[in-house]
Structure 1
């Protein structure tokens, strides 16, 4: 199964690279090639980026071993949560995770569940040992390249919200998430003053820990 996964991912990446090469040729019909790329790889997903609050500062203060410990604990706690809500973890980079969901509601529920699990984990732990999570969620049509990566405006917006804008415990979402999410009495959102590039507006989810 592992070998099959590598072949499938490589085939997708090779096909995309081939089409990009065609797009670079003089006189190329870029609109036609773009349409082919979207036909091949265009899919609708909710995209979640996670980030650990204050991580770079803690690495500088407490060293690389502490860095590895916090990452280990965050993944041990959160990866089962992703599976419980039918998410797919595409990749990890340092203290960040990129996760996709077919269902916007499950993405939101997963975010809340992650924060609640971490609240329980952090009880009675010293400040330096606590895992503090920031979350950003987008939704829309993206280019999914095998099981290795996704690209698109909502990907960029979710990344900006989760990795740069959100503070610890916050779950920030784009306007597209609001539009696609079901209307539920327990889902309340506050409009943020600024929206990241790629999104028309951004919101903070109001939820109970």
Structure 2
């Protein structure tokens, strides 16, 4: 496979697909190619996964346009909080946001600002149009595809915390993410089983 041009990022989806195909074609080079993938695609980052809640009734009562409007409002409110803390929105999928930060502290600050922004807006909204978000935060080696997708254990854990465990307004951290924060920051350790996976997480006060 031809190497990318100097101004072309190494971590594109096309290049990853080509490298995976090469492993199939040349299984004896699996270790070498896998090491190259890890080198060129892996970033040590904090990952923030935001999930919106309370849509089922809204969609039933007001229709899908109301649902889409609420997602749009959430993104307008959340994105400045993320970019203002040097974060990147890597993927927006339905009512979820997947974001990366260099530091867990920045991800936590962005999460708290998002929750605060939504709470401020909700004061002016009817009860059935209010915006609620639950957020999971992880930290570790994450495979990133040129600012369009991301994969890894901490992505999966943050997703489970944000989507399956946290309630609206909650910010939950994986053990790895909590270890990156100042110990003086108050949090509560909890245990939960999700999809057969036992998790220890930390709920921010």
Q: In the TM superposition, what is the alpha-carbon distance from 1:75 to its structure 2 partner? A: 1.2
Aligned pairs (5 A) from 1:80-159 = 80-159=80-159
Q: State the TM-score, normalized to the length of structure 2.
A: 0.88
Q: Please provide the CA RMSD for this pair.
A: 2.1
In the other structure, the counterpart of 2:200 is 201
Q: Does 1:163 align with 2:163?
A: yes
Aligned partners of 1:188 and 1:25: how far apart in 2? 51
Q: In the TM superposition, what is the alpha-carbon distance from 1:9 to its structure 2 partner? A: 6.4
Q: In the TM superposition, what is the alpha-carbon distance from 1:27 to its structure 2 partner? A: 3.6
**What is the number of equivalent residue pairs in this alignment?**
198
User: Alpha-carbon deviations, 1:15-34, whole Å to 9, x = none?
Assistant: 21111012223643322221
User: Any conservation in 2 of the 1:157–1:199 contact (CA below 8 Å)?
Assistant: no
Q: In the TM superposition, what is the alpha-carbon distance from 1:153 to its structure 2 partner? A: 0.3
Gaps of 5+ in 2: 1-6
Q: Does 1:74 align with 2:74?
A: yes
User: Any conservation in 1 of the 2:192–2:198 contact (CA below 8 Å)?
Assistant: no
In the other structure, the counterpart of 2:40 is 40
Q: In the TM superposition, what is the alpha-carbon distance from 1:65 to its structure 2 partner? A: 1.3
**In structure 2, do the counterparts of structure 1 residues 14 and 113 end up closer, same or farther at CA, with 3 Å as the change threshold?**
same
Q: Quick check: which one's strand share is greater? A: 2
**In structure 2, do the counterparts of structure 1 residues 103 and 196 end up closer, same or farther at CA, with 3 Å as the change threshold?**
farther
Gaps of 5+ in 1: 1-6
Aligned partners of 2:198 and 2:13: how far apart in 1? 27
Runs of 4 or more above 6 Å deviation: none
Aligned partners of 2:101 and 2:198: how far apart in 1? 18
SS in structure 1 of the partner of residue 162 of structure 2: helix
User: Any conservation in 2 of the 1:104–1:181 contact (CA below 8 Å)?
Assistant: yes
Q: In the TM superposition, what is the alpha-carbon distance from 1:118 to its structure 2 partner? A: 1.1
Aligned partners of 2:74 and 2:171: how far apart in 1? 16
In the other structure, the counterpart of 2:3 is none
User: Any conservation in 2 of the 1:174–1:199 contact (CA below 8 Å)?
Assistant: no
User: Any conservation in 2 of the 1:189–1:205 contact (CA below 8 Å)?
Assistant: yes
User: Any conservation in 1 of the 2:189–2:201 contact (CA below 8 Å)?
Assistant: yes
